[in-house]
Amino acid sequence: MAKKLLAYVSGQGTVNERDAKKLTHIQLAFGKLRMDGSIVTHDVEPMMAQMAQLRAWNPELKIGLSLVNNDGEMNAFTTVCADPALREAFGKSCVDVVTRLGFDGVDIDWEYPCVPSNNQDVSKDDRANFTATCRVLRQALDTVEGKHPLLTLAAGADVYYPTCVDLAAVSKDLDFINLMTYDLKCGFHALAGHHTQLYSSTGDVFQNSCDQALRLFVRSGVPKEKLLMGAAFYSRKWENIQDRNHGFLQISKAGGGYGPNWALLEKDFLNKNGYVYYWDDEAKAPFLFNGSTFLSFDDPRSLKEKCEYIRREDYAGIFYWEHTCDPTGVLLDTLYQNLKD
């Protein structure tokens, strides 16, 4: 099957003609869900103004609106999904996003049902309520005449997620799932390591990988043709760690914060300013180390490996966070060249 190549683009970003012609899908980040089931789009209005031009450059391009909790309303998803009347209001808002605002669909980025670590008052009932909400949203979007609006999901890539979301049930109403196979090591982890590796490395006590996450979702009832792998156009960093094993799998007193994006990595860090490049052939992932700071990221070599995996295993495609991190288009071009038929 033809592979999808999807970009998340921040509302203040831009996509040029060269890049628009390579992409199959764009998700604008972010629209905001409110406690009453309505949706606000203030943050993405600059990108919305570019939608007509993007479609002129690439008539096949699908542009969706990715939704998160509204600012100051961090319980919006839990609240709306728990109330049948609010679910219906949410469905009508999604239809409005398609019919009035001109999007090709909506992308649900609730991070995460049942998970209280993101300043949310969640509930164990989120699992069943989210299933019911996806059904309502699909039914509402199916009332739009003349097109099939997309309903997609951004999903966490670890073992907790299938316990929090009934993947077999919701995938029936979803067109595809963007599996966020990045931040596999992040602020929760004191162990410096790969954050978007294709495979796990021997000796890593927090084993996870793109391959492991994708297989987990398939076992949980999601068809391969509805799963996209995530790639990272930014890095994660661990500081003040021991100069042992090139910093890899060493303990930091703090978790993995955000590091430089690809453009800055290429300019100032790749074998520059004391940083040395290393390749983990087991994980198919690169890293940089300068004696005390460890940086994990995707680069053209790792992205080529991911594309070959997607084609070999016949998953739906790949997506990345986030488009403005690669203004030169080096990483997008790698994905395009290695993913196309």
Q: Which of 97, 111, 21 is nearest to 65 (CA)?
A: 97
For residue range 303-329, list pLDDT tens digits in order.
Answer: 999 999 999 999 999 999 999 999 999
Task: List the domain boundaries for the chain.
Answer: 4-233+295-339
In DSSP terms, which residues pair with 321 in a beta bridge? 232
Tokens found for residue 46:
């600059």
Those residues with Cβ within 8 angstroms of residue 134's Cβ, 6 or more apart along the chain or in another chain:
108, 151, 153, 169, 170, 173, 174
Note the pLDDT tens digit of each residue in 100-109.
999 999 999 9
In tens digits, what is the pLDDT along the chain, a chain of 341 residues?
A: 799 999 999 999 999 999 999 999 999 999 999 999 999 999 999 999 999 999 999 999 999 999 999 999 999 999 999 999 999 999 999 999 999 999 999 999 999 999 998 899 999 999 999 999 999 999 999 999 999 999 999 999 999 999 999 999 999 999 999 999 999 999 889 999 999 999 999 999 999 999 999 999 999 999 999 999 999 999 999 999 999 999 999 999 888 999 999 999 999 999 999 999 999 999 999 999 999 999 999 999 999 999 999 999 999 999 999 999 999 999 999 999 999 87
Topology of domain 4-233+295-339, per CATH?
TIM Barrel (3.20.20)
pTM for the model stands at 0.98
